[in-house]
A = this chain, B = another copy of it.
Amino acid sequence: MNKLVIIACVLLSCMGAAKAQDLKSPNGRLSMRFSLEKDGSPSYSLSYKGKPVIKPSKMGFELKTKTADAASGGSDANMEQKTANLQGSLHNNFTVAGTKTAAFNETWNPVWGEVKTIRNHYNELAVTLHQKGTARQMVVRFRLFDDGLGFRYEFPTQKNLTYFVIKEEKTQFAMAGDHTAYWIAGDYDTQEYDYTTSKLSEIRGIMAKAVTANISQTPFSPTGVQTSLMMKSADGLYINLHEAALIDYPVMHLNLDDRNFVFESWLTPDAVGDKGYMQAPRSTPWRTVIVSDDARDILASKMTYNLNEPSKIKDPSWIKPTKYVGVWWEMITGMSNWSYTNDYPSVELGVTDYTKAKPHGKHGANNANVKKYIDFAAKHGFDGVLVEGWNIGWEDWFGNSKDYVFDFVTPYPDFDVKEIREYAKAKGVKMIMHHETSSSVRNYERHMDKAYQFMKDNGYDAVKSGYVGDILPRGENHYSQWIVNHYQYAIEKAADYKIMVNAHEAVRPTGTARTWPNLISNESARGTEYQSFGGSKPNHVTVLPFTRLIGGPMDYTPGIFEMDLSKLNPDNKSHVNSTLANQLALYLTMYSPLQMAADLPENYDRFPDAFQFIKDVAVDWDDSNYLEAEPGEFVTVARKAKGTGQWFLGSVGGNDARTSNIRLDFLDKGKTYIATIYADAKGAHYKTNPQAYQIRKVVVNNKSKLSQWVAPGGGYAISFVEADKNQAKGLPRL
């Protein structure tokens, strides 16, 4: 049901300082105010249950001034140039030309998701601003939900502002105090830092340590941080800053004035330092503030999706939540390699003859090994098998700013596309394609049509893409407008081919999967692979749901059972900072319609009882209940599988041991369940004793309460199966 009610349309005649405009959320808990300051600067503020969330904060843009070239119908040497004389300031001198308020209340059903039905319920305020002296018009549109505020800038068709270049977006988020923040360094090229918890005032001092080495990285400010940024105020408010519907616009970072605790938007520049090329009519992405005094509400918020457009894929029947295994962790840990030979330090595709190369013998993507994974997937009911390193070019793929680095269609000699295709088909398993681009973006676009067609010809319906290393074209960054545009291009073109996309190292999601649900997952944060590159903090997975997952699902690749990686590769001294039970819980706490069982088949074979949970757990849901949540500490969520009605529960802890106390009141009334609880055993510890787990079966119903110890870096997972009395017989009640 789509219901839009325009409540009021006020055309103000006073052209001086306009009176403030107030708006309340549907349930009245959030209220915001828009006003113009004396100099005509737009300003907004937000409060939750009377507590300030955003103090009065300025809005607007600094534009690039230029002498515009003559436009219409010019020839290739039309010497005439008009002086457009665009003034730079688009952040003051405004008057309010009109305001409109509206209420909106609808529900919609996502193609995949944590819940079956999402309510999109907000009150809206649109303020039309006229700038004195330039006759330029800008609309600021606020949507106030019960869980937060979204606002964006809109530039209607107008005479004096058609094409323009943003020098700086000057949107402020003035915090009400020195909040605790869960942050990673702002960076134009990586989102893969470990999170730091600190006061806002401490960021500057910690920054140097927080910017750890990365393959491609461009930090920009000692107080610059990334969104989605999670904070907690001293008076108990949970506040999240992010953006929604990032389409053809640079990523917004936040730069902190740490004396006043005021964040200001900091857009990712392009190769020449500009921060946004705009053509009216046009809107910016939404700037979002999610807020509650209950951390669980932040996790349950669907505001980011609600601020995106409905799906543009009319028949999404080909989009299928997927649980998969893959030839991947063995390369990540250094057991095997993506490359095929050591003969060629310099590969030229189409010239280098791999049939004459001496294999180095560690190539993971060989027929026999891939078939082993297919067999494993078939035996245990996985939907798909990812294979990385199947295509030629990996000998010199990285770090060389190499343009023509992959062609995405030519396999190594030991990977027989047709043979694998037929084998997988016979086993009822879907192959998952891998397109590492090495960030050579033009090269990927040049080959994209053929690569996607090759996928369809060979039975691949999903692709994992990757953007490792510095971006080509040189000078652009991973999150600049040009490249954001590319990621979106790849998703839309994939949709033309009915291909699902799981993009790694691409821009962090901002809910655009509502519009393009074939974007079934993203990496865009520090994933499990970092456990093999020196490790991540034990509480990492208690932060990600509050930050990275706000914009969409993450291909976190959980399910590691062997934490001592030297057992896989003696040269790898990394340790996975997680207990085995914690790994199981991640299938619930790190929501994604695409979930990997990332470890090696042989490691799963060692722990078949624990592996059973990964086999059982669903990847698509009718309902989700966040039972416990505190960023950096713990997340506990119960989810009801789509269609089957079966419940699963996951709980992850942080650095220290804790006891989780929950009520199972989410379970269906009147039903009896057998709960299989996969938990840390006594003495379990992410570092010293990660594989100590216990599995017990108990009988429960929706009156049951559970008290469960969680190890440092630990967690627990539960599957609930409805049972009749006979089945429950002999099992203890909880």
A positions within 8 Å CB-CB of B: 68-79, 81, 157, 159, 162-163, 165, 192, 213-215, 270-272, 274, 277, 279-281, 331-332, 337-339, 342, 345-346, 348, 394-396, 398-403, 442, 445-446, 449, 466, 468-469, 473-476, 482, 485, 489, 504-505, 529-530, 532-534
Complex contacts, A400 vs chain B, CB 8 Å: 68, 71, 162-163, 279
Alpha-carbon gap, A79 to B445, bound state (A): 28
Q: Of the candidates B75, B277, B445, B529, which one forms a contact with A332 in the assembled complex, judged by CB atoms under 8 Å apart? A: B75
Shortest CB distance A479–B (Å): 15
Is there contact, CB below 8 Å, between B346 and A279? yes
Alpha-carbon gap, A401 to B166, bound state (A): 13
Shortest CB distance A184–B (Å): 14
Shortest CB distance A695–B (Å): 33
Complex contacts, A77 vs chain B, CB 8 Å: 192, 214-215, 529-530, 533
Complex contacts, A442 vs chain B, CB 8 Å: 442, 445, 482
Q: Of the candidates B69, B348, B469, B473, which one forms a contact with A399 in the assembled complex, judged by CB atoms under 8 Å apart? A: B69
Complex contacts, A71 vs chain B, CB 8 Å: 345, 396, 398-400
Given known contacts A69-B215, A76-B529, is B466 in contact with A473 (CB within 8 Å)?
A: no
Is there contact, CB below 8 Å, between B79 and A533? yes
Alpha-carbon gap, A365 to B562, bound state (A): 69
Is there contact, CB below 8 Å, between A401 and B277? yes
Is there contact, CB below 8 Å, between A346 and B163? yes
Shortest CB distance A200–B (Å): 28
Alpha-carbon gap, A727 to B345, bound state (A): 72
Q: List 4 additional contacts besides A74-B468, A163-B346; criterion CB under 8 Å.
A: A75-B529, A77-B533, A163-B401, A271-B475
Query: Taking CB as reference atom, which chain B residue is nearest A342?
Result: B72
Q: Of the candidates B72, B403, B468, which one forms a contact with A76 in the assembled complex, judged by CB atoms under 8 Å apart? A: B468
Shortest CB distance A491–B (Å): 14
Given known contacts A77-B192, A473-B473, is B72 in contact with A339 (CB within 8 Å)?
A: yes
Shortest CB distance A188–B (Å): 14
8 contacts between A and B (CB under 8 A): A71-B400, A72-B345, A79-B534, A163-B402, A271-B474, A274-B474, A442-B442, A446-B489
Shortest CB distance A581–B (Å): 26
Shortest CB distance A452–B (Å): 12
Most chain B CB atoms below 10 A, which of A73, A79, A482, A534: A73
Alpha-carbon gap, A76 to B445, bound state (A): 20
Q: Of the candidates B192, B281, B348, B395, which one forms a contact with A72 in the assembled complex, judged by CB atoms under 8 Å apart? A: B395
Is there contact, CB below 8 Å, between B474 and A270? yes
Shortest CB distance A487–B (Å): 14
Q: Of the candidates B74, B401, B533, which one forms a contact with A165 in the assembled complex, judged by CB atoms under 8 Å apart? A: B401
Q: Of the candidates B165, B272, B345, which one forms a contact with A162 in the assembled complex, judged by CB atoms under 8 Å apart? A: B345
Alpha-carbon gap, A396 to B279, bound state (A): 10
Is there contact, CB below 8 Å, between B399 and A68? yes
Complex contacts, A337 vs chain B, CB 8 Å: 73
Query: Taking CB as reference atom, which chain B residue is nearest A345?
Result: B162
Query: Taking CB as reference atom, which chain B residue is nearest A389?
Result: B73
Query: Taking CB as reference atom, which chain B residue is nearest A504?
Result: B76
Alpha-carbon gap, A124 to B324, bound state (A): 60
Alpha-carbon gap, A552 to B159, bound state (A): 45
Shortest CB distance A679–B (Å): 31
Shortest CB distance A434–B (Å): 12
Given known contacts A163-B346, A270-B474, is B213 in contact with A73 (CB within 8 Å)?
A: no
Is there contact, CB below 8 Å, between A272 and B446? no
Is there contact, CB below 8 Å, between B215 and A398? no
Query: Taking CB as reference atom, which chain B residue is nearest A441?
Result: B442
Query: Taking CB as reference atom, which chain B residue is nearest A346?
Result: B162
Alpha-carbon gap, A192 to B398, bound state (A): 39
Query: Taking CB as reference atom, which chain B residue is nearest A399?
Result: B69
Is there contact, CB below 8 Å, between A78 and B533? yes
Alpha-carbon gap, A398 to B73, bound state (A): 8
Shortest CB distance A610–B (Å): 26
Shortest CB distance A70–B (Å): 6
Is there contact, CB below 8 Å, between A215 and B73? no
Is there contact, CB below 8 Å, between A473 and B468? no
Complex contacts, A394 vs chain B, CB 8 Å: 72-73
Shortest CB distance A301–B (Å): 30
Is there contact, CB below 8 Å, between B473 and A482? yes
Complex contacts, A346 vs chain B, CB 8 Å: 157, 162-163, 279-281
Query: Taking CB as reference atom, which chain B residue is nearest A161?
Result: B346
Shortest CB distance A663–B (Å): 40
Shortest CB distance A572–B (Å): 11
Is there contact, CB below 8 Å, between B213 and A279? no
Q: Of the candidates B74, B271, B348, which one forms a contact with A473 in the assembled complex, judged by CB atoms under 8 Å apart? A: B271
Shortest CB distance A352–B (Å): 11
Complex contacts, A70 vs chain B, CB 8 Å: 398-399
Is there contact, CB below 8 Å, between B399 and A74? yes
CB-based closest 5 A-B pairs = A69-B399, A271-B475, A76-B468, A271-B271, A163-B400
Query: Taking CB as reference atom, which chain B residue is nearest A340?
Result: B73
Complex contacts, A331 vs chain B, CB 8 Å: 73, 75
Complex contacts, A529 vs chain B, CB 8 Å: 75-77
Alpha-carbon gap, A277 to B346, bound state (A): 13
Most chain B CB atoms below 10 A, which of A76, A81, A395: A76
Complex contacts, A466 vs chain B, CB 8 Å: 76
Complex contacts, A159 vs chain B, CB 8 Å: 345
Shortest CB distance A550–B (Å): 23
Shortest CB distance A617–B (Å): 26
Is there contact, CB below 8 Å, between A338 and B73? yes
Shortest CB distance A64–B (Å): 10
Is there contact, CB below 8 Å, between B485 and A403? yes
Alpha-carbon gap, A348 to B81, bound state (A): 23
Shortest CB distance A228–B (Å): 21
Q: Of the candidates B157, B345, B445, B485, which one forms a contact with A445 in the assembled complex, judged by CB atoms under 8 Å apart? A: B445
Alpha-carbon gap, A466 to B74, bound state (A): 13
Complex contacts, A533 vs chain B, CB 8 Å: 75, 77-79
Shortest CB distance A571–B (Å): 11
Most chain B CB atoms below 10 A, which of A79, A165, A449: A79
Most chain B CB atoms below 10 A, which of A81, A271, A505: A271
Alpha-carbon gap, A77 to B403, bound state (A): 20
Complex contacts, A81 vs chain B, CB 8 Å: 213
Query: Taking CB as reference atom, which chain B residue is nearest A277?
Result: B401
